[in-house]
Structure 1
Amino acid sequence: MTVITLVRHGQTDWNLLGRVQGRTDIPLNDTGREQARAAAEALRDGGYTAIVASPLTRAKETAEIIANALGLAHPVLFDGLVERDYASAEGLTAEDLSALRRRAMGADAETDEDVAARAVDALRSAATAHADAGSAGPLIAVAHGGLIRVLIAVASGGELPREGDRVENGSQHAFRFDADGFALLSSSAIATEA
């Protein structure tokens, strides 16, 4: 069994503007860097021994800030942890989507099932590599709100997150991975939209 705490990357300017990021590679802003430092403090006493991340700049930089604060080796990057591909919705705001009479998840977006399958494969690979290296202790994985939301939904049988909830930047969500599957152990900073 491996405990992996998923951390959502810190804020970007597109988060601030309400733009759909998806796989568009947007860097952290200063608030996002502060959120990464706050996440590191929240994780400080967790006994974490390694960190992995999505290769997108916002997740990679968040992971580097956390690794430096906790004295962990440089993050290992896993392509399977990238954000959902929102395709034609990327770069649009809620107002843009409303004017187009559609949600962020258009018909051309990556499905929940595909996101979950690749994310679980990446996390299992990270856990296996960690164990093969002789490391013990839990892992940190820095990823994205859409991906974390899907994993929370799968692990909770669709009970969480509730309609209107959002996964906050810098939030932490602990999962247990074992031979039988994975389960949500705890989740912080799921906020209900106003």
Structure 2
Amino acid sequence: MRLALIRHGQTDWNLRGLMQGRTDIPLNLTGRQQARAAATGIDRARWDLVVSSTLGRARETAAILAAELDLPVAGAYDDLVEQDFGVAEGSSVAEIDVRWPGRAFEGKEPDDAVGPRGVRALERIAVEHAGARVLAVAHGTLIRHVLGELSGHDPRSYPRLDNLAVSELERAGAAWLVRTVGGVPYADVLPSLVAVGADDADGAATHVAA
């Protein structure tokens, strides 16, 4: 199956540079326009359905994409929600490292839990929509952690993903292969990644499902 992880559209907190996490901030007008514009660049014939995280900004982005592409919305998944940043949510991202050196926020979801949680969502989607080609709307940090978990790289070394950036995965047997990162071929992103594992021999990052 093929699956694309798509970051949701802009919110007012994105615009103001605030840490968002699990706080359920809706899309703003620009975010809705971004979703409609992104749909024009997606080949509807390559995809079968749309899913999302359970947070409102992801659900609304998914609904707009589905309407524009005439695809069904086929569910929302708790394991696709953004990392919980605890007490840091609502704070200026520019001040985070000064206020919390090492980003040790009280109430924060552990970094090493985020990627495996996201991969669990992929596995559930693969079971519930076997063989389908799925657009999955989620969140920037969650997506980077998933990509890092799949490729064996530090998620912090993945580039920041813009709103509506699309990262494509392919499931081959029991493995997930990372094909693109924010629309850029994985092979082009690879030189900038910090390895904490091994890469597949053909240059496509791979993760074998448990």
TM-score of the pair, normalised by structure 1: 0.85
Amino acid at match of 2:179: L
- 1: CA distance between counterparts of 2:147 and 2:136? 14
Task: Specify the code of the residue in structure 2 equivalent to 1:141.
Answer: A
| Runs of 5+ unmatched residues, structure 2 | 185-210
* Matched residue type, 1:153: G
Aligned-pair distance for 1:4? 0.5
Residue 181 (structure 1) aligns with? 175
2:138 maps to 1:143: yes
Shift of 1:95: 4.2
Query: 8 Å contact 2:116–2:149 — kept in the other structure?
Result: no
Distance (whole Å) between structure 2 residues aligned to residue 189 and residue 5 of structure 1: 10
| RCO comparison, higher one (Cα < 8 Å, 6+) | 1
1:8 paired residue number: 7
C-alpha distance in structure 1 between counterparts of 2:14 and 2:103, whole Å:
14
Question: Are 2:19 and 1:38 aligned?
Answer: no
The Cα of 1:180 is off from its aligned counterpart by 3.1
Distance 2:48 2:32 in 1: 22
CA distances 1:3-22 after superposition (whole Å, capped 9, x unpaired): 11000000000001111110
Aligned to 1:93: 92
- Taking only aligned residues, the RMSD between alpha carbons, in angstroms, comes to 2.4
SS at match of 1:67: helix
Aligned equivalents of 1:27, 1:104: Cα separation in 2: 25
Kindly indicate whether the alpha-carbon contact (under 8 Å) linking 1:152 and 1:161 is maintained by their aligned counterparts in 2.
Answer: no
Instruction: Give the 3 Å change call, closer, same or farther, for CA 180–83 of structure 1 in structure 2.
Output: same
Out of 149, 157, 164, which is 1:170 matched to? 164
Name the amino acid aligned to 2:141.
G
Provide TM-score, normalisation by structure 2: 0.79
Q: How does 1:66-145 map to 2 (within 5 A)?
A: 66-102=65-101, 104=103, 106=105, 108-131=107-130, 136-145=131-140
Match of 2:48 in 1: 49
Residues 152-189 of structure 1 show CA distances to partners (whole Å, capped at 9, x for unaligned) of 222333177637x3111110000123443322111226
Change (3 A) 1:182 1:166: same
In 2, are the aligned partners of 1:49 and 1:139 still within 8 Å (CA)?
A: yes
Structure 1: runs of 5+ lacking an equivalent? none
Task: Give the percent of matched residue pairs that are identical in Structure 1 and Structure 2.
Answer: 39
